[in-house]
A and B are shown apart, each in its own frame.
Chain A
């Protein structure tokens, strides 16, 4: 069973084909990397999958549902969570509240009960608070719970964004350059975190990353995009020696 299956996904911006009939399979519990030079269309793929852009063609299958063209909040309801390349936290909310927004869908509770301060709403609120604290604890940043998100150190912000995504109890996690701007120690921590997400949280992860050592070290399968097209796909060793990939990254001069 595949956690996510993309077939013939295409997105055009005017005359530019940003993503050209992409086929991609993310197996249940798998970790798939998406790499390619700048402007290859990697983040566009994420924006298509998470519903921020409507695709021009193709399908995005999650458990037999085709999510192509659905709005983001519906895609999220099917268990797809993501992080952003340029961190998009809710800056003036505390770390805890950021995670509590992540738990929005799984929290429940009607509007009326909320504005009348009903018992149902208050009980749910307390439970969400505990769950959010648990997530912060699991990611190892619970001591920042009451700090404003915008005031946190960069590495913690990256982790908080992952924590927020986890709070929505996803089955598929899309990580957009999680190691971007991290120092070697933070990158090592992130690698541990990602493997824990796979093992303990039973997530399937699709990862965009520029740090080649990071990607080659942890991904089972790698897709290489260039100008919106898949130029290679396979296990890390095969990708490393693929002439088309080397050419895309380094240009013809190598030959």
Chain B
């Protein structure tokens, strides 16, 4: 770890903590805070889905399913494993916030792990084949997960899963949103990320260059699912209540629309589209029932006018800004 990175990391933490302190002070309308936190969840989901759709070019339409796996397993962990752990360990000596944070971190690990396992179980058989098998398999998986949840009484069944302790806050949601963006960006800049782009462009050419196509596709899919699970765990401990309906097919489609409108393959685009598409229904509160109509119309419009999405595969970074600036200087 070099100094510059530590400083950057510290700056992000300080900024988010400062915002958290401001929001906790009660000076900001809680509604705005809530919308901001929902934006963080959308960003996590869109950026993680972009890894498999945008980078690897494999269409997954069950992202909400992995989000649900993370949310429900993490929620079940704190609800059912929390009390025995509290009895076994002298946690009450810790300050309350620290105890909550410890449980949140453990729950995130649980949610991430289970979503990753689900990703492996779905991805391994379907990604060995070429073509749209993944889309069909993930579609089935997403619906299956929802049906399973609806029929498990322990997590509330169709009534929803309530009583999950609230440990998450703006700070954690935004910190993990930043972390997921950072992970996606690191991946894109590494040889593993480039291998994914190569697979998206031409699987055959990638394989003869020594890229193990199946391994990279499965790894990307597991990573993408794991990050969705992480977002789910945070969501469960932010909302305190989960209902199967919020993880249905429509939710998956919403996340796909964010990725497509942002530009498949651009993390920058995924972030911005996630924020915009979370704000639109809030701004158009009166038209809330027409949300999916507006989304669909937007999608049709984008496919006609700008099929590559807002940003195409362009990324915001110092490097791209510098090359753009240099090009401008070169021009007479």
Contacts and interface: CB of A to CB of B under 8 A. Distances in A.
Interface of A: 50-52, 71-73, 75-77, 81-82, 84, 88-93, 97, 100-105, 107, 109, 111, 114-117, 119, 121, 124-125, 128, 146, 164-165, 168
B186 A115 contact: yes
B173 interface: no
Interface stretch (B33-41, B135-143, B198-206, B242-250): B198-206
B212 interface: yes
Grouping DSSP codes into helix (H, G, I), strand (E, B) and loop, the B interface class, with mixed when no group exceeds half, is helix
B187 A114 contact: yes
B251 interface: no
Given A73-B213, A115-B190, A121-B186, A91 B201 contact: yes
B209 A116 contact: no
B223 interface: yes
Given A100-B191, A101-B206, A114-B190, 5 more contacts: A77-B210, A82-B208, A105-B210, A114-B186, A121-B186
Contacts of B16: none
Contacts of B313: 92
Interface residues of B, number: 33
Contacts of A73: 207-208, 210-213
B186 A116 contact: yes
Contacts of A76: 207-210
30 contacts: A51-B207, A51-B208, A52-B208, A72-B208, A73-B212, A76-B207, A76-B208, A81-B208, A84-B205, A90-B198, A90-B202, A90-B206, A92-B201, A93-B194, A93-B201, A97-B197, A100-B191, A101-B194, A101-B206, A104-B198, A104-B210, A105-B210, A111-B192, A111-B219, A114-B186, A115-B183, A117-B182, A121-B190, A124-B191, A125-B191
Contacts of A121: 186, 190
A164 B209 contact: yes
A52 B206 CA distance: 11
Interface of B: 1-2, 182-183, 185-187, 189-195, 197-198, 201-202, 204-213, 219, 223, 265, 313, 323
A128 B191 contact: yes
A114 B1 CA distance: 14
Contacts of B208: 50-52, 72-73, 75-76, 81-82
Nearest to B215: A73
A194 to B, nearest CB: 19
A175 to B, nearest CB: 13
A63 to B, nearest CB: 16
Contact of A104 (B186, B187, B194, B323): B194
Contacts of A124: 191
Contacts of B195: 101, 104
B194 A100 contact: yes
Contacts of A88: 202, 204-205
